[in-house]
Amino acid sequence: MTVLQPHHSNQFSVSLSDIQRARDRIRTFVRQTPVLDVVGLAGCSTQRLWLKCENLQHGSAFKARGACNAVMALSDVEAARGVVTHSSGNHAAALARAAIQRGIPAHIVMPLNSARVKLQAVRSLGIEPILCAPTSAARESMAAEVQQRTGATMIHPFNHPDVIAGQGTAALEILEQVPDVDTIVVPVGGGGLLAGTLLAVKTLRPEICVIGAEPEWADDAFRSLQSGRIEPALRTDSIADGLRTPLGTLTFPVIQALVDKVLCASEEHIIRATGEVAAVCRLIAEPSGVVPVAVMLQHPQIFAGRNVVALISGGNLDDPTLITRHLTVA
């Protein structure tokens, strides 16, 4: 287990007190999501397993936490000029929603090939996404152009201190809801959720093991820990569309210093986990959201006998047949 020494907390851009302040700031705008104990998940080796249901968060994703914290932390002058981001995923709708809650404009740049359910989520809030080509360069240049034109504040999906602090609030809830937890598993894409979780947990309960979970087809965090630098994505076709992103310059140092382990899951295990969570728990979760369950099914020896909380990060499923196949009884 990695233990965060007191002096560590100063080396990162976010501290426990930032996360605690975030919790107070967003309390009336996001849900304290429930934790469900799971019984009867086939192939699960844990002593006990709980799901932290961020798929039941507003907007069906934990992203409400970071986006809301970043928007509510703006000064009135900054806020009046609006916010801008680029995102193919749940951060897009989360930022749009937070901006509406504050009554300010939101400019949401999204790649053309974003999941339909995630484009629709932004549109259903009354905001038309600004579409761009599906490359990092196109996303960034389009967002920069909007920022220059409007004076809006850029709220990056994960490489932003207030976003990281906001994502860490889920971990504060876990520690209160499941005092007996000894292992916490969260998905890792850009690393905002994992970094926020680590900063909270390794300060308050350093003996708890924190594991990042990512697809084998998007194993950049695993490779980055091996090489000691931020590795790019090698492919962009994992079914876990929310986790295809490389780590950020703010998230990688936290993960490198504090994470106990990053585990990878095959596409097959991710698909199976999506179905099992629906069939056993009656929860609609998206593939990215169940990768923590997928790594538990794929690496049972690591979780044997443990008391595990798996954070289910989102419920915006683009292909409902992933769950109906498991719900259909022959």
Q: How far is the CB of 118 from a copy of itself (least distance, A)?
A: 9
Residue 31 touching a copy of itself (CB under 8 A): yes
Given the residues 13, 60, 63, 313, select the one marked as catalytic.
Answer: 63
CB 274 within 8 A of CB 322: yes
What count of other Cβ atoms lies within 10 Å of the Cβ of residue 206?
A: 14
User: Given 15, 88, 114, 224, which residue is catalytic?
Assistant: 88
Asked whether position 328 contacts a copy of itself by CB under 8 A, the answer is yes
Which span sits near a copy of itself by CB under 8 A: 8-16, 32-40, 88-96, 253-261? 32-40
d(CA 245, CA 247): 7
Of 1, 11, 17, 39, the residue at the interface with a copy of itself (CB under 8 A) is 39
Pick between residue 7 and residue 282 the one whose CB is nearest to a copy of itself.
Answer: 282
CA distance 64 to 271: 25
Which tokens hold the place of 177?
Answer: 């809801």
Interaction between residue 329 and a copy of itself (CB under 8 A)? yes
Q: Which of 283, 293, 302, 309 binds a copy of itself (CB under 8 A)?
A: 283
Decide: is 330 part of the binding site for a copy of itself (CB under 8 A): yes
Residue 168 · residue 25 · CB < 8 Å: no
Q: How far is 35 from 54, CA to CA, in rounded Å?
A: 9
Torsion-angle region of residue 282: left (phi > 0), alpha (psi -120 to 50) or beta? left
Q: How far apart are CA 199 and CA 197, in angstroms?
A: 6
Which residues would be at the binding site for a copy of itself (CB under 8 A)?
31, 34, 36-37, 39, 53, 55-56, 58, 60, 116-117, 119-120, 278, 281-285, 315, 317-318, 320-321, 323-324, 327-330
